[in-house]
Amino acid sequence: MLDQIQQYLIPWSAGIMISLLVTVLCMRKPLYGRRLLAILFLLGMLANVYLAWIYPRDYLVFGQFTFLDSYRRFIYLILFRQAYWMGGLLILAHAYLAFSYWRNEAVPTPAIIGAALFLLLITPLGFGAAFPAPLILLFGIFYLYKNNVERAEA
């Protein structure tokens, strides 16, 4: 396990650094923060195209790093076997989120809730989700939501 952690140490560190950058941008320059979030969701969509439709066996890597047995069982017994259509659902969700965060208008509430839910659901993947990066991004999304509400009330 330690060898695997060393193998993924650089992407894990990069994930945390990127999440910090995006969150700071969401607070200081919301438009740039939203655009970076859109790019992250687009990259997530492409990663799921790769995982679900090209190499579904690579989903099993995430099961090694999760700190919940229920997630591990889900990945090994359900997600891996149903990767084609479950990955397709993730691809559609990522596409919707990328589009919603890229637009010039305010981010729709369903996109904010969807992104927050997605980040909360991948948090138990632990090292496989660059923990604590999803929680850091959650702060940025919360700030965007707060900013949307304040603009709507003004």
Q: How many domains does the chain have?
A: 1
pLDDT of residue 37: 94
Domain extent, residue 45, equals 2-153
pTM for the model stands at 0.84
Taking every pair of Cα atoms in the chain, the longest distance, rounded to a whole number of angstroms, is 53
* Least confident segment among 29-33, 51-55, 88-92: 51-55
The whole-angstrom distance between residue 70's C-alpha and the CA centroid of its chain comes to: 20
